[in-house]
Amino acid sequence: MKFVDEAYIDIAAGDGGNGCVSFRHEKYKEFGGPNGGDGGRGGHVFAVADPSLNTLVDYRYSRRHEAKRGEHGMGSDMFGAAGSDITLKMPVGTIITDAETGEVLYELLNPGEVLTIAKGGDGGFGNLRFKSAINRAPRQKTPGWPGERKNLKLELKVLADVGLLGMPNAGKSTFITAVSNARPKIADYPFTTLHPNLGVVRVGPEQSFVIADIPGLIEGASEGAGLGHQFLRHLQRTRLLLHIVDLAPFDDTVDPVAQAKAIVGELKKYDQSLHDKPRWLVLNKLDMVPEDERDKRVKDFVKRFKWKGPVFEISALTREGCEPLIHAIFRHVQAEQRLENVPEEIDPRFAGDAPA
């Protein structure tokens, strides 16, 4: 697959250079004194969040990344040069964890964000450092300190405002194509989507939000069945989930209610916090249902599904009902953003009562 959202790498910052033992040797300077310089520090390893990247595929085939060591100190009071740093470009949304302990070390959440993920070792001291009134000809020096070495796991969780849920062939790819600039593959067979797709939905001038489509889920996905379970992590940072249901399946024996309940069950098994996210029900493919049967079929589904949240009826193919849904999503995303920007010391319930 072209989309890679996990990789393991070994990184090593550069070791510090060793200090030098040297003495000044010049004509008519019998006791010139020590002039051994310090070693240079080793190179650091940086990680930068690059918004132009959307996959970790580069690190699947290039695992070892090592910065240069610092140069050794030299005579004539010359300090060693610092080792060259290296910068690893990663997609926005990358989580960096310790591969051995599983501890989360860093998260790249903002475009252009730079983090030091391994520090280079300090250079050793030359004998110039040990000169004193008592010890005028020191022969001590110290070696450079080793740079940090780490085994890391890189995990990408895409940053999107809205995530799409649904069985294979529910119409998620058609929907994201209809409302955004994303152009995923669309076909009349299951699992057409093999990797997450991101699309920007334009609501108006300088008004937009990001929507993410993952491969369709099937029953047993939380235990590894199908493809969708590999990408459920990409929905954990969304503000809203759209549960898209095929209201007119080709196979008459397929019950949309049973499929919808299976999706909800898989969410709960995978991550309770993901299950508890705001979720809206989107009944798709109304163009396949005769007009005189639409109301009855929708009411029957909602009743049997025991759904009490927001319900939207659309046809992603003809774009019927998509416009009201998009505006409702934008209002919800804006409201969530305003709550996130409220200072921590102010209770969000009373934020509107604060004096200007």
202 phi, psi to nearest 5 deg: -90, 120
Domains parsed from the chain with CATH numbers: 6-24+31-156 (2.70.210.12), 162-344 (3.40.50.300)
Task: Give pLDDT, residue 209.
Answer: 82
Q: Please tell me the predicted confidence (pLDDT) of residue 348.
A: 52
Residues that constitute the known binding site for Mg(2+): 173, 193
Model confidence pLDDT, tens digit, residues 263-298: 888 788 877 888 888 899 999 888 888 888 888 989
C-beta neighbour count of 18 within 10 angstroms: 23
Q: Which residues are annotated as a binding site for GTP?
A: 166-173, 191-195, 213-216, 284-287, 315-317
CA 179 to the chain's CA centroid = 24
Amino acid type, 279: R
Q: Is the pLDDT of residue 126 over 70?
A: yes
Calculated CA dihedral for residues 269, 280, 260, 159, nearest 10 degrees: -50
Q: Which segments are annotated as binding site?
A: 166-173, 191-195, 213-216, 284-287, 315-317
Q: What is the pLDDT of residues 136-185, one digit of tens each?
A: 889 999 999 999 999 999 988 777 788 888 887 788 888 888 888 766 55
Helical pair 322-340 and 172-179, crossing angle rounded to 10 deg: 80
